[in-house]
Amino acid sequence: MEENRKNLVDFIRNALPVAEDRVLSISSSFEAVHAEKNDYLLKIGQVSNDFFYLESGFLRTFTYDARGNEVTTGFYKAGALVADVVSFFKQKPALEDMQALSASKLWRLNYAQFQVWFHTVPEFREFGRANLVNGFIALKERTLSMINLTAEQRYENLLRTRPEIFQQASLKHIASYLGITDTSLSRIRKEIVRK
């Protein structure tokens, strides 16, 4: 096994209870991708053909509101699986951009190969289903937090549960993810420091 694929192999080995030869076969169908800071992995309007394992680096997804302002919809750290799920599975044009916020190393599995593993390896299918369920739960929790929590509570929750975001993302990106303005975020940060 080539050394630079070790983290991917370890990830698959830990995620899928399959024989070692199957782990190596699955990992060999991934292609290495290197992204520099600010590179796009997907642009709005493109059809996503890639499902990624993020080995190192930090990504964000974002779209635009009705006034043309960027709105960050997600942050991804090393160890995450990253895909525009709607575009990838429905093979429809993406409604979000995917951008590297730092130099990143990813492993790309294309749509056709994903389908092969999904339909021939029950453990891969179960792993995929579990990831989709967890993604749906996270989306539901985020949606409800935008309704049920104050901006300050959302900020404190994000700081407690995802501290890496504050080390990797700009305050502008964090503010849009929280659904507030940069000014409101600055005010909240000052109030928390004063407590």
Note the pLDDT of residue 165: 97
Q: Where are the domains of the chain?
A: 3-121
Measured between alpha carbons, how far is residue 128 from residues 60, 89, 90, 140 in Å?
21, 12, 15, 18
Note the pLDDT of residue 2: 53
Q: How is the chain classified by DSSP, letter by letter?
A: --GGGHHHHHHHHHH----HHHHHHHHHT-EEEEE-TT-EEE-TTSBP-EEEEEEESEEEEEEE-TTS-EEEEEEEETT-EE--HHHHHHT-B-SSEEEESS-EEEEEEEHHHHHHHHHH-HHHHHHHHHHHHHHHHHHHHHHHHHHHS-HHHHHHHHHHH-HHHHHHS-HHHHHHHHTS-HHHHHHHHHHHHH-
CA of residue 35 relative to chain centroid, distance: 14
The pTM of this model reads: 0.92
Per residue in 118-175, pLDDT (tens digit) is 999 999 999 889 989 999 999 999 999 999 999 999 999 999 999 999 999 999 999 9
Note the pLDDT of residue 1: 45
Low-confidence ranges of the chain (pLDDT < 70): 1-3
174, 166 contact by CB (below 8 A): yes
Note the pLDDT of residue 192: 83
The CA-based dihedral angle spanning residues 85, 23, 78, 30, taken in that order and rounded to the nearest 10 degrees: -60
Note the pLDDT of residue 97: 98
Token pair, residue 51, equals 């499902």
CATH topology of domain 3-121: Jelly Rolls (2.60.120)
Task: Scan for tokens 């991917």, then name that residue.
Answer: 8
Note the pLDDT of residue 194: 80
